[in-house]
Amino acid sequence: MTTEPPLVHPPEMIDLRRLRLRRPKLSDAPAVFECASDPEVARYADWPISTSLVSVEERLRARRHEWDSAKEFHWMMTVRPDDRAIGGIACTICGHSAEFGFLVGRRFWHHGYATEAACAIVDWIFSMPSIWRLSATCDIENLASARVLEKAGLTREGILRRAIVRPNLSSEPRDAFMYSKVRA
């Protein structure tokens, strides 16, 4: 007899030293569009660059449903005390494992915000006794994201060959680093 993992109840807000992670709001659309429409920010994303504010608003509406159905959890990164989104971080939980990813607006690169947010999500994930593995991928050319994952305590497991399409770079699948952290 298999037992279902317990239903996940993520924190709606996580206050950190410099950041606040909170659930997305429709009013975040302009800030999200600024990030998601920037070719440098979206370069390694696994979704096409955003071309309209309307498409971002639709995505933000979908985030509510994903959260409420416990499929995927998204938080906006905001620099405290300001409530303006500077990026986002998300995770999915499936059984005993979880996966996460992040994105930060170009104006906010090189400040350690992605690392601060990633560390918080790693800590939250491993506060749940039912989670045994956390993973993340990044394009093999995205060394900044690889470094964030390492600083957040993940270990590079290897390279996934021709694994992920990065539509803003190529229509062909590209190699990706696979990172993980496992409960001992």
Domain limits at 25?
Answer: 13-134
Comparing CA positions, the residue from 6, 10, 49, 54 lying closest to residue 30 is 54
| pTM confidence score | 0.93
Burial of 109 (0-12, 13-18, 19+ CB in 10 A): middle
Label residue 174 left, alpha or beta by phi (over 0 means left) and psi (-120 to 50 means alpha). beta
Q: Secondary structure of 63-74 in the HEC alphabet?
A: HHHHHHCCCEEE
pLDDT at 66: 87
The residue type found at 174 is R
Report the pLDDT averaged over residues 94-120: 97
CATH of the domain at 74: 3.40.630.30
Comparing CA positions, the residue from 139, 151, 143, 140 lying closest to residue 113 is 151
For residue 91, being part of any structural domain is answered with: yes
Q: What six digits make up the tokens of 124?
A: 């939250």
pLDDT at 112: 98
Binned at pLDDT 50, 70 and 90, residue 3 comes out as low
pLDDT at 45: 96
How many Cβ atoms sit within 10 Å of the Cβ of residue 182? 14
Label residue 168 left, alpha or beta by phi (over 0 means left) and psi (-120 to 50 means alpha). alpha
Distance CA 73, CA 50 (A): 20
What DSSP assignment string belongs to 61-125? HHHHHHHHTTSEEEEEEEETT---EEEEEEEEEETTEEEEEEEE-GGGTTSSHHHHHHHHHHHHH
Q: What six digits make up the tokens of 3?
A: 């037992």
Report the pLDDT averaged over residues 148-155: 98
Name the domain count of the chain: 1
For residue 54, being part of any structural domain is answered with: yes
For residue 166, being part of any structural domain is answered with: no
Task: Give the position of tokens 């659930």.
Answer: 23
pLDDT at 68: 84
For residue 184, being part of any structural domain is answered with: no
